[in-house]
Structure 1
Amino acid sequence: MSLDRALKEQIIRDTSSENSSRLLLKKAFKDNINWENNTYPAEMKDELRKAIAFGKLPKFDRFRDNFNGMGITVHDTWATHITIKSLNIDNDRYRAVVHYQVQDHFGLDSDDILKTKFNQFHFFRIWFVLQRYNQFGFKPFMTNMEATVEITGGRYEI
């Protein structure tokens, strides 16, 4: 539950207009809703995919995550599934419910160990080897997190 809460907070607090998947979805909704019919056109669904593809998916790689425990517990994420559960449009306003499912493995992969942040410490290099040494058989375990956020806005919002 704590990881779910941390994920939701990370998504909501990301105010980077060029990276936040939440804010990019918000812009896609506003720009593509057919306000006369109060619908989101099916032919514009790729704009939602683009909003997610060009944004930064939720990760725990901020400076504060080095101190709050999330940098070591999760850090980067392995898989993210974003689902729009509902979209209601009425009176020049919309409300979308978006569900994030995020999965990570508690361990170091090749990309992690090549980063200076991890490579410079013996602890992480040893962890990387122990994780892969076939005589021990240690395997990383999966961390699953999920959060549901509400995105609201209006036709005339700036």
Structure 2
Amino acid sequence: GSGPPGTNHKVMKRAFDDGWGAVIAKTVSLDAGKVVNVTPRYAKLRAGANGSALGQVIGWQNIELISDRPLETMLKEFKQLKEEYPDRILIASIMEEYNKAAWEELIDRVEQTGIDAIEINFSCPHGMPERKMGAAVGQDCVLLEEICGWVNAKATVPV
């Protein structure tokens, strides 16, 4: 899935230079200004009633957010990467509010860069649930069906 290896041109270029066949870019949205990044980006996951000692660290929770970089910047970098690496797969990860026109605009804009496929981010647990984004959609079958319908009707690349 999308994440830090798809943060920006430099990082994705490094992945391709190191032999990666594909990269999923960090999730983009029409308005990066609505993203407020936090640090640290990982939190300790502590044991509860799962058989481990209470309070024992058993893993890490990722609180990485979608890209806070301007969409125009990311689109420019997608286009540049496809020009530099036409034989590599570049997948745009997208997330938007519950708004058909916004989803359609975002699809148009990422497809214009030459990306090869689209990942729809419905799993981000901190994907602004108050705006019906991320896991707030992924856990609602009615919303999920409707948005997937919009996306699949609009997209011309694999989703």
**Which structure has greater strand proportion?**
1
- TM-score, normalising length from structure 2? 0.27
- Give the structure, 1 or 2, with the largest relative contact order (CA under 8 Å, sep 6 or more): 1
- TM-score, normalising length from structure 1? 0.27
